Amino acid sequence: MKERITDYIAWFIAKLIKPVYQNREAIMSKKIIIIFASIFTIIVLGVSFANSGKTQNSLAENDIELKTVEVQQIETVEPIAKDTYKNSLKTKSDYKYMDIDEIDSAMISAYAIKINNEDKVYLKTEQDAQNVLYDLKKIYISDDENTEIVKIYFDENIEIEKVYLNVIDLENIRTVEDALNLIVKGTDEERKHKIKRGENFWVLADDYKISVNDLIKANPEVVPERLQIGQEVSLIVPEPLINVCTVENVTYNEKIKYDVVYEDNANLYKDEYRVKLRGAYGTKEIEAELVKKDGRELGKVVLNEEIISEPITKVVYKGTKNPPPSIGTGVFSKPLSRGTITSGYGMRFHPVYRTYRMHTGVDIAAPKGTPVLASDGGKVIFAGWKTGYGNCVVIDHGANLTSMYGHLSSISVKVGQKVYKGKTIGGVGSTGTSTGNHLHFEIRKLGNDINPNKYINLYKYY
């Protein structure tokens, strides 16, 4: 109806304007033009006003119906996300770019991991929440073939529950990886320290007022003794939101200690010992039940033991002979019970420096660890490292005489100790400038080296 009225009005106006337009050159009077223009304007305004009034009345009638529909819709809307919001959203960052038109309500569904009846972690789907708990248990499941998990459980009361979150809380919905990290660490906070020269866990513990044990706990993959400059370490001590407990059946081997027995030997001095028979550990197989919390052992119950090999008792000779006085006698004895002279006193072609030079002692080759004996009684005046000689012992025998024992593998005396002739002072070795296991033996008088054969014929023994 409205369209037909509009057509009639347009036709009427065209009829009025047409003669004016056709005779525009004949019409010279401005007054006629003004009259026609005024009539045209009045007609247009009148028609527009009439149509506007009808439109206002129509909208007013429909407005009541629309409001009624809106009220009914609000009462029946469910607080869930629209169906178009599908599983294609993989991470919480996808929510940031969701078109607001795709959401039916200000509330969306999520799944909460409840710890002791308190919502702690939110995930998009129930499957994601289950994956988090599965991955958490997986951390503490050993892949050792000798370990069987009897039971694994959470120390806290854990539930998964569907909840509804406001759109503004979308940031609280986590990915599986983020949720697992939060549960294991107990916090999202990150505090790192980059290792500088001279720093270690003990220095960091003092600087940051954290115990060394806590630093080790915060960095399980870091070896404290092998820190590198520039390496980053965490300063956040993990406090898990969920503690994982395991009961495990384990099978492992354990050493059995051997006994030590002593036999008297009249050929040895009272403070001397010699091994007659070396001991050996035995082995037993143990089956036990271990109770752990977050991988830390809390208790153990041995279920079964089976001896695989018996231990071998160690037998040691114990000296009974009274030692001689710890003073020099001026008479020297052989410093090794066995050996072979490989280089004598005097000028020689040095095997290391490859030049001719003075050799100030006698070299006696023997197996590593062979006991080195004090050639005469006296007082130890040096026991330590000496350039070229390696581990070295020097004994003052009085009467301006000293003896020196070089290249030792071990030293068993200390400076100031009084030793008697034949006392073990160390073991044969190859420390310092040396090409093999041997003893470098010297005798000095007034600080000057002399040929040891003037006091003892070493070639008689070796």
CA distance 123 to 91: 9
Question: Are the CB atoms for 184 and 177 separated by under 8 Å?
Answer: no
- Residue 112's H or E segment, with its range, is strand 107-115
For residue 90, the model assigns a pLDDT of 38
388-391: long-range pairs with CB below 8 Å, 24+: 388/432, 388/433, 389/432, 389/433, 389/440, 390/429, 390/430, 390/431, 390/432, 390/433, 390/434, 391/426, 391/429, 391/431, 391/432
Smallest CA-to-CA distance from 260 within 248, 278, 247 is with 278
φ/ψ (deg, to 5) at 225: -80, -5
CA gyration radius, the chain: 50
Alpha carbons 6 and 48: distance in angstroms, whole number: 10
- Using a cut of 0.75, tell me whether the model's pTM lies above it: no
Q: State the virtual CA torsion across 406, 411, 413, 414 in degrees, nearest 10.
A: 80
CB 110 within 8 A of CB 164: yes
**d(C-alpha 225, C-alpha 221), whole Å:** 12
Cα dihedral value 179, 184, 190, 196, nearest 10: -140
Say if CB 182 and CB 100 are below 8 A apart: no
Class of domain 249-319: mainly beta
The token pair at 321 is 């002979």
Check residue 46 and give its pLDDT.
62
pLDDT < 50: residue spans in the chain: 2, 27-28, 52-104
Superfamily of domain 192-234, CATH level 4: LysM domain (3.10.350.10)
Distance of CA 63 to the CA centre of its chain: 68
Q: What is the CATH number of domain 324-460?
A: 2.70.70.10
Element (H, E) at 248: strand 244-256
Euclidean distance between CA atoms 381 and 392, whole angstroms: 11
Report the pLDDT value the prediction gives residue 80, as an integer from 0 to 100: 37
Question: CA 242, CA 257: separation in Å to the nearest integer?
Answer: 41
* pLDDT tens for each residue of 57-105: 443 343 433 333 333 332 333 333 434 333 333 333 444 434 444 444 5
Q: What is the pLDDT of residue 82?
A: 36
Judging by DSSP bridges, how do beta strands 346-349 and 356-359 pair with one another? antiparallel
